[in-house]
Structure 1
Amino acid sequence: MPKFFIEPSALRTEDGRQQVTITGEDAHHLGRVLRAQPGDRIKATDGRGNLYEVVLTVVTPETVRGDVLAVGPDQAEPALKITLFQSILKGEKMDWVLQKGTEIGITAFVPFLSARTIARPAPNQYAKKQERWQNIVTAAAKQSGRGLIPKVYPVTPWSAVPSMLAGQFTLVAWEGETTCSLRQALSQREQPTAVQLVIGPEGGFSPEEVAVLVAQGALSVSLGPRILRAETAGPLAAGLLLFHYGALEPAPSTLANNGR
């Protein structure tokens, strides 16, 4: 059953029935590509954690309408909210992190500049970069059936990063860490509701940068004895976090009948 994102404004109640209206590219995809017909069923998520089962009543390339049959929480979203602070990477490496991180289940991304960041867009390009990255995340969220579209924050200078992390459960992956593994750090912590995961650039963090974050309460962790590429570390660590806390189990259906 295909799944589509809808705005909350796409829902309305008429004659005691809750209805959904889909327009734009998704309507075209349903009508022209999937060749949907009235009577077909789809799933729709409002990006706020709610999932709807919908039976289609009208299908055109411009507008698709349907009646809501059932509604429930969208179990595609992990209870653990991971924000990935990723030092900006060169070219397609950053795109890869955003795409794969979204598929895995990361909730938000904060691209930032650190001492060894190689890719440094001009400040007048920040907004364009953020828009492009958000489009990548949006497409990945739709493809992977997410229950929400992760947010990509504006490009952030290093000076602002420590204060953003203060008081939060923060893990800094650093190849210079020799005493604390990710497993050890997680075994000492009861299940959190949110984790801030910090990953450096191609050249890694400087010891001084790690020290600043640790002084704010962050935990420096090793991801193993092998040196990982910068674009590998974030998605891998996020996947390990979700696995450790049981967020990669199959999701049961929680849709409740909507009176039909």
Structure 2
Amino acid sequence: MRRFFYAISDDNNPSETTYSKLSTLPIGASVELTESIVHHWCRVLRANIGDQGVLFDGFGGEYQVQLQAISKKHATVTLLAHLDTDRDTAVLTKIGLVMSRGERMDYAIQKSTELGVTAIQLLSSHHGEVNLKPAQVEKKLAHWQQVAIAACEQCGLNRPPLILAPIAINDWLKPAATAKPINVETAVSPMVATMSQDTYYQALLQPANLRLQLSVPAAGQPAMPKALLTTLQQTAPYIELLIGPEGGLSDEECAQAANVGFEPWQIGARVLRTETAPVVALATLQALVS
């Protein structure tokens, strides 16, 4: 069955319809679909009354639904059943990812989502290729969040990762005592703003159990930080990963990362591309925790 993200808050949606969390509605209730779902399911895919699909709103689980009515601009479904599963991973992860250009960035976000990342903090850095102007941020943030949501619709993840608005790496790597706290609700696209306040995502506001910087192979560095396996044995461990641009982080940025507790982690003897590194890192974490 087709899967669709049911965004209950989206300032870009021209409709004045107020959408409710699916968990507040009883099985058997009629639900007005969002305009994006109506467009995709009913117009592009030409669904018919009686067709069934799956909705998820990011608050946990998914709902089997059946199309009840379709008009030119609107459609309603009936909630048939709820499945209490999220298909998330046993480890909470946030990636600090220096932005790259075009398809490479889309690939990094898409594959990180499929591998269960919880959040991606977009970063700009000294050697980074992308520095967004203020007028560009909203549009690019919406695009990258939609890339993550589309990956969720495909892979079955019911809690989309949060894509956090870009900040300078120097600001992200400030010591906790001097760093400006991030307001998650205002740092994400409107389509996930309400969802971001769910308790599941609030763990991201706490200090990570372990911070790892994906580094290029270097003599004398351990292949795996000693604390990694110990951390993964904890209940619901939270790990932050720092991944630099194609040109790598500057010496100053590496020193700043080390100063706030990031340990170098080199995976194998090869230099990984910036879009490959998150895939390899997340897959390795999953293999180690299973």
Within the alignment, does 1:143 sit opposite 2:184 as a pair? Answer: no
Please give the alpha-carbon distance, in whole angstroms, between the structure 2 residues aligned to 1:59 and 1:122: 41
Q: Please tell me the residue identity of whatever aligns with 2:213.
A: V
Equivalent of 1:186, from 225, 228, 232? 228
Match of 1:48 among 34, 59, 63: 59
CA-to-partner distance for each residue in 1:58-96, whole Å, 9 max, x for gaps? 244533323222213233333422211111223332222
Matched, 1:240 2:251: no
Q: 1:124 to 1:75 in 2, by over 3 A?
A: closer
TM alignment of 1:123-142, pairs within 5 A:
123-142=134-153
Q: Equivalences for 1:48-197 in 2 at 5 Å?
A: 48-60=59-71, 62-163=73-174, 167-168=207-208, 169-177=210-218, 178-182=220-224, 185-189=227-231, 190-191=233-234, 192-197=236-241
Give yes or no for contact 1:174–1:205 (8 Å, CA) kept in 2: no
User: Judging changes above 3 Å, is the alpha-carbon distance between structure 1 residues 60 and 153 closer, same or farther for their aligned structure 2 residues?
Assistant: same
- 2:258 pairs with 1:217: no
Tell me the CA shift for residue 152 of structure 1.
1.6
Structure-2-length-normalised TM-score: 0.73
1:164: how far off? 7.5
Change over 3 Å in CA distance of 1:185–1:165 after alignment to 2: farther
SS of 2:143's equivalent in the other structure is helix
Render the CA deviation track for 1:97-155: whole Å, top value 9, x for unaligned.
Answer: 12222222222111112232233334543344323323333333333333133222121
Kept in 2: contact 1:181–1:224 (CA 8 A): yes
* Residues in 2 aligned to 1:139 and 1:227: alpha-carbon distance in whole angstroms: 29
Between structures 1 and 2, the one with greater strand share:
1
**C-alpha RMSD of the superposition:** 2.8
Work out which of the residue numbers 236, 249, 263 in structure 2 matches 1:205: 249
Aligned to 1:228: 272
Match of 1:27 in 2: 38
Quick check: 1:38–1:59 contact (8 Å CA) kept in 2? yes
Q: C-alpha displacement at 1:221, in angstroms?
A: 0.8
Matched pairs, number = 245
Distance 2:92 2:217 in 1: 26
Using a 3 Å threshold, how does the CA distance of structure 1 residues 30 and 90 change in structure 2: closer, same or farther? Answer: closer
175-184 vs 112-121, which deviates more?
Answer: 175-184
Letter of the 1:83 counterpart: K
The aligned counterpart of 1:5 is 5
Q: Following TM superposition, by how much is the alpha carbon of 1:17 offset from its aligned partner in structure 2, in angstroms?
A: 3.5
Q: Secondary structure at the residue paired with 1:230?
A: coil
Task: Name structure 2 gaps, 5 residues minimum.
Answer: 9-18, 178-206
* 8 Å CA contact retained: 1:28, 1:61: no
Cα distance change of structure 1 residues 218 and 64 upon mapping to structure 2, 3 Å threshold: same
- Please state whether the residue corresponding to 2:222 is helix, strand or coil: coil
Match status 1:18 vs 2:59: no
Partner Cα separation in structure 2 for residue 57 and residue 110 of structure 1: 40
TM-score scaled to structure 1, two decimals?
0.80
Bigger mean CA deviation after superposition, 102-111 or 29-38 = 29-38
Match of 1:39 among 46, 50, 61: 50
- Could you tell me how far 1:26 is from its partner in structure 2? 1.6
Structure 1: gaps of 5 or more residues? 247-260
Counterparts of 2:237 and 2:258, CA distance in 1? 20
Partner of 1:251: none
Partner residue in 2 for 1:254: none
